[in-house]
Structure 1
Amino acid sequence: MKSKSGTIFLSGLIAGTLDILAAVIIYAVVLEKTTAIKILQSIASGVFKKEAYTGGSQMAWLGLGLHYLIAFIFAWFYFIVYPYFPFLKKNLILSGALYGIFVWIVMNLIVLPITFPLLPEKHFDFPLLLSILILIFCIGLPIASVTRKFYAFR
């Protein structure tokens, strides 16, 4: 990738796609806890609240757009901070894993509690570990990898 904006776009696109695919495959297909539409509507509910669940496919599309916006913001943030933290350059796997954990912390301990004040209490169990692993492999590692390739040519 030659441009900054292209790098951010590509890493956000890859991360956003992998993350939403993981959510749909794991929670809708494998565990059969929900549907793809409801996953996307729940993302939209961060903005549209209960109306998101009665808005049909339109709200699902808005949820998908919001999902990608969030992925692009995390891709942009990693791209901006990368040059200032030398440890990110030393080990791709470790930096991607740490960034995935950072994204989990931001989303689950800051963004979601602000957006949904009545969330259930978190417990260290398999679903929590699964959600962290999804963010490590689908968000942290792809963003770290694409960003590292950009800076390797500078």
Structure 2
Amino acid sequence: MARTIVIAWLVAGTLDIISAFVFAGMAGATPTRVLQFVASGPFGDGMYESAVGASLGLLTHFAIMLAMAAAYVAIAPNFSAVLRHPIVAGLLYGLLLWVIMYWIVRPLRWPELWPPEAYTGDSVSEIAWSVGNALFSHCILVGIPIAWITARSQRV
């Protein structure tokens, strides 16, 4: 189980952070700024000015990803359908992770990021782009790899 967690964690964590860098870069933000934003969640806004902000952001990102991977790997073997259908299970797990992160975790730290309020003044296409990017990352780059790696590890 530990090997599966480590592989799922590193694959999904790497894909997700690359995705964050690419989508943020398209909006004009640097990878350093992305990591400082991540670090500012648990450590406060001082991370934007801190020399260790980006490093703590990367550690925070991978700590969150470890929890996501470990939870799935621990629970999935109890549900044979999840192991038989890793693509569907991964999409659903990614959707669950998106709901948790965007409707609970982020708004607890940044109330202005509560999804309905976060998009005030944005056009429909801007909202679709933003939500689409987040869903793509959580479902395709996080949920499916974690589910696929877990299912493969259960086949002897």
TM-score with structure 1 setting the length: 0.89
CA displacement at 1:115 relative to structure 2: 1.9
Q: 1:122 to 1:94 in 2, by over 3 A?
A: farther
Q: Show CA shifts across 1:8-31 (max 9, x none).
A: 011011100000001112221xx1
Q: Show CA shifts across 1:87-106 (max 9, x none).
A: 31232211111111111011
CA contact (8 A) 2:91 2:140 kept: yes
- Name the residue aligned to 1:145: 148
Determine whether 1:34 maps to 2:34. no
- Aligned counterparts of 2:70 and 2:118: Cα–Cα separation in 1: 28
- Name the residue aligned to 2:105: 111
- Name the residue aligned to 1:72: 66
Question: Amino acid of the residue matched to residue 139 of structure 1?
Answer: V
- Aligned counterparts of 1:8 and 1:122: Cα–Cα separation in 2: 33
Question: Which of the numbers 43, 49, 54 marks the counterpart of 2:49?
Answer: 54
Q: 1:118 to 1:79 in 2, by over 3 A?
A: same
- Aligned counterparts of 2:60 and 2:69: Cα–Cα separation in 1: 14
CA displacement at 1:122 relative to structure 2: 4.8
TM-score with structure 2 setting the length: 0.88
- Aligned counterparts of 2:42 and 2:70: Cα–Cα separation in 1: 21
Determine whether 1:92 maps to 2:89. no
Q: After TM superposition, where is structure 1 displaced by more than 3 Å over at least 4 residues in a row?
A: none
* Identity of matched residues, %: 31
Count of aligned positions: 147
Question: Amino acid of the residue matched to residue 16 of structure 1?
Answer: G
RMSD (Å) for aligned C-alpha atoms: 1.5
Question: Amino acid of the residue matched to residue 131 of structure 1?
Answer: A
- Name the residue aligned to 1:14: 11
Gaps of 5+ in 1: none
Q: Any idea what SS the aligned residue of 1:118 has?
A: helix
